[in-house]
A and B are shown apart, each in its own frame.
Chain A
Amino acid sequence: MDRDRLKLAFLGHVDHGKSTLIGRLLYDTGSVPPDRMEQVRQASVEQGHDTELAYLVDHLREEREHSMTIDTAQLFFRAADRDVVVIDAPGHREFLKNMLTGASQAHAAVLLVDAAQGLAEQTQRHAFLLTLLGIRHCLVVINKMDLVGFAEARFLELCEEVGAFAAAIGLEPVAFVPISALHGDNVVNPSSRLPWYDGLTVLEAIDGIEAVQDTQRPFRFCVQDVYAFDGRRIAAGRVEAGTLDVGDPVLVLPDGATTTVLSIERFHSERGLAEAGESIGVTLPADRAVRRGQVLCDPAAAPAVASTLRVRLFWMGDEPLALGSRHRLRLATQDAACRVAAIRRRINSSTLDVLARDADRLATTEVGEVELELDQPVVAELPERCQALGRVVLETHDAVAGAGVLMEPPGMEESER
């Protein structure tokens, strides 16, 4: 009974119909209990509408009153072959923080485009942010086909336009699907109003998305904390890549010493080998100091330790990111103070225009290629090698204001070997 669980984010410009599409998927697959449907019906009547499927997702009163998603929500439904966690994301420019929060948890994405309006500002920005988030699988859905008379020509025109933009940012859509979420055409049930289309429905396309496989990677374990509840010092954390067995040699970074894993600690579990994704405890020889922020790794394939990072950063702060400003950087369980040493390129994340080189600031919603100088060395590597060690957030006043990925392998520092 081990069904695959796919986390799917729904992205796109405001009012292109994301919430309605999700509502339609839930409804047409029979995933909504009648009592919940009744609540939606009543709430819709109160707002003066026919039954709004979007209300299955837009639950806040303010969202219904303004017909607008404010924050991300997650819902669950059972497709034919797997369970799907649907992550709805707001399409309004003002709520990019919330869109990023939702989308960052997804394995794959559905990018929605209004057939009448075409590619819009947030459509492009969301697509670009997908590449930042490292989400490769993307399904493009052309919605509101009813507004363009279900015309094949318009569909093909948009496929080409979206396809070209996707190619420019390195995104590879797995399919393009024409639908009307409002009327239910081609979402779960094929439509007689699209006779020229012989491809998949949205539901079929979702079922066809391949689950991401964890490939064999060098071992990485990020220490979250050290416990001594029963007298022994146990390093608690999560295996971020690879596997670990008792007796394995490990390199402790950023310190640089090699040691051996004495035991793998768990509560109420008979498991032996620890694998990527597992939260465990680890004990090392008593003379080995352990603390939060350290990374235990495969000595034969270690990540870098660096005090300068070059990051592709999406800025969400209320104030612009200023050259020379200081922030808190968080990378896995590491915490370091940093200074913005350079903003090599400043990019509009919707049009992809390079606004400036060697800029003095980055405004909100822009993406920058930024050099950060850290007060202390951190363990880092490209996200393709280890996601957890390749992604950073930047905080201003204790709030996350920027999210970024490492652009190039961080420089090797002198460290004890």
Chain B
Amino acid sequence: MDDLDRLESQSVHVIREAYVRFRRLGVLWSVGKDSTTLLWLCRKAFLGHVPLPVIHIDTGYKFLEMYSFRDRLAREWGLNLVVASNEAARAAGVGPGKGSKLACCTALKTDALKVALRDLGLDAILLGIRRDEHGIRAKERYFSPRDSGFKWDYQNQPAELWDQYASRADEGRHLRIHPLLHMTELDVWRYVRREGLPINPLYFARNGKRYRSLGCVTCCQPVESVAANVDEIIEELRTSNVSERSGRAQDKEDAYTMQKLRALGYM
């Protein structure tokens, strides 16, 4: 086994534990490289199948290329796709550029997720976040409880050791489960290459720029790059001096936006 095999096996173990402990389990898919890898790891865990609802939170401000890519992959992989959206907020005019990023992300993403969990009756969800993405995510557990208000009690997280994870969600609470926590950005790209995973073309350079991290069109800046395929992205990452989320406006609003967002239930 090489290092990617070990990372993969660890993820599969986490996914299988999630499924056996929480039968009302869903998986969040942003159509980005990490959550697409997560879906693939689910196929590894369940031997080709994804026996879970796959939830795409649509803010309405996503890149057009994301939508077509999403629908194609959902067909090819036989996914049970559920698109969730905070229609009320959008109708009321909530959006980027009107008020803070904190308020917009909370309304269009976090609140949409809340409704989706309730409507689907889920008590746990798989997400593709990784520790190396952000200092706040570095503090996460594999199985991370959220209370009924979606709050993350980061000052009082459960002990998690020896592959023994939180096993129940009390009434109204849910579990966030993070099978990719131990993978770095470079690990994910190397895994994408090895497995030949389909990747949204937005990650590849066009006109000297590419997106390293994908969120909404309005709050996502591309970085300077000429990496036009996965091999070139890997080469670029090995020598890069810029962090993955440097193009994300959300992280710039203030030093603790991510912490505040996550405390309110963000991914």
> How far in angstroms is the closest Cβ of chain B from A231?
12
CB distance from B176 to the nearest CB of A (A): 15
B115 within 8 A of A: no
Q: Does A345 contact B (CB under 8 A)?
A: no
B164 touches A393 (CB 8 A): yes
For the complex, would chain B's binding face be called helix, strand, loop or mixed by DSSP majority?
loop
A42 is an interface residue with CB less than 8 A from chain B: yes
Check if B84 is an interface residue, CB within 8 A of chain A: no
Q: Which residue of B lies closest to A78 (CB)?
A: B238
The answer to whether A39 and B9 touch (CB under 8 A), given A33-B243, A56-B135, A275-B1, is no
A238 to chain B, nearest CB (A): 5
A59 touches B259 (CB 8 A): yes
Given the interface pairs A3-B3, A33-B242, A74-B138, the reply to whether A268 lies near B46 with Cβ below 8 Å is no
Q: Are A60 and B243 in contact (CB under 8 A)?
A: no
Question: Looking at chain A's contact residues, is the secondary structure mostly helix, strand, loop, or mixed?
Answer: mixed
Nearest A residue to B243 by beta-carbon distance? A33
CA distance A70 to B156 in the complex (A): 9
Q: Is A12 an interface residue (CB 8 A)?
A: no
Distance of B177 from chain A, by nearest CB (Å): 14
Using a Cβ cutoff of 8 Å, how many contacts connect chains A and B?
155
Q: Count the B residues whose beta carbon is within 8 Å of the partner chain — how many?
A: 55
The smallest beta-carbon distance between B180 and chain A, in angstroms, is 13
Report, as a range, how many residues of chain A touch the other chain: 35 or more
Contacting pair A227 B255 (CB below 8 A): no
Q: Do A100 and B19 form a contact, CB below 8 Å, given A33-B246, A60-B139, A61-B256?
A: no
**What residue of chain B has the Cβ atom nearest to residue A2's Cβ?**
B2
User: Which chain A residue shows the least CB distance to B14?
Assistant: A279
Structural contact, B1 and A101, CB atoms closer than 8 A: no
Contact flags (1/0) for A101-135 with B, using CB distance below 8 Å? 10011000000000000000000000000000000
Pairs A–B under 8 Å by Cβ, sample size 27 = A3-B3, A33-B241, A33-B242, A35-B242, A39-B255, A42-B255, A43-B255, A57-B135, A59-B136, A60-B154, A70-B154, A71-B157, A72-B139, A73-B138, A73-B139, A74-B131, A76-B132, A227-B47, A230-B48, A277-B5, A277-B6, A278-B1, A279-B16, A398-B166, A398-B167, A403-B161, A403-B162
Please list the residues of chain A having a beta carbon within 8 angstroms of any beta carbon in chain B.
1-5, 33-36, 39, 42-43, 46, 56-57, 59-62, 70-76, 85, 97-98, 100-101, 104-105, 224-225, 227, 229-230, 234, 236-238, 265-268, 275, 277-279, 281, 292, 316, 330, 388, 391, 393, 395, 398-401, 403
Complex A-B, nearest 6 residue pairs according to Cβ-Cβ distance, in ascending order: A59-B135, A104-B161, A279-B12, A73-B138, A97-B159, A33-B243
Q: Give B contacts to A, CB under 8 Å.
A: 1-3, 5-6, 8-10, 12-13, 16-17, 19-20, 43-49, 51, 131-132, 134-136, 138-139, 141, 154-155, 157-164, 166-168, 182, 184, 190, 195, 240-243, 246, 255-256, 259
